[in-house]
Each structure stands twice: as C-alpha cells, then as structure tokens.
Amino acid sequence: MLDLLVSNKLFWCISDLILSEYREVLGRSKFANIPRSQIEDLLESAAAAYHFRPSSTVSLSVHEPDNRFLECAEAARRTIWSRAINGISHGAGSSQVSSTVESY
C-alpha cells in the first residue's frame, strides 16, 4: 500500500485525530524494531496527506478508534463528489482537493 501512496496511485486521506492515533500507535514498544527514522518519515508523509475535517461521527466499528477512519472516509467521499459535481457544473475539466478541506 505504501508503494501505491508513493507512486501517487492512491491518495492518503487523513484527519487530525487519525494522525494523533498513528503517532500514539507507532510509539508503542511493539514497533521498537522499526528504525525511528522510518517511523518519522511515515508520520511526515501522513502529515502532508490530504487532511479532512469530518463534520459527523459514526459508531459502526466495535473498535471505537476505527470509527475515525470511517468518519474521514465519509468526509473525503462527500468532498470529492461535491467538488466533482461543482467542476462539471462550472465546466471545469477536473477538480483538485486542497491539502486541507472541510467536510460538506
């Protein structure tokens, strides 16, 4: 999956809460065998990803922190569809998602 992100075949959607979760999880002792520089590179890449600010919460996952990923995915989906529709209605050929976007 990291190869897809690096090659821009997949774009990383993230929220501040997810980034905090990544920092907390990757700081656990079970990841001590991974060089800290690789963890820092991953976190730096995540911080540079497309940031979304979910406007709603969900409670679908039994593992509550996983709901942050669902919330972010929904915010990304809404934003991308909204911008695509606006691009079509305004005659634009394509629409870009800015690095930080508000959820619709």
Query: In this predicted model, what pLDDT tens digit does every residue of 13-68 receive, in sequence order?
Result: 899 999 999 999 999 999 999 999 989 988 888 888 889 999 999 999 999 999 99
- Grouping H, G, I as helix, E, B as strand and the rest as coil, residue 98 is coil
Indicate yes or no: pTM above 0.85.
no
Contact 54, 71 (CB under 8 A): yes
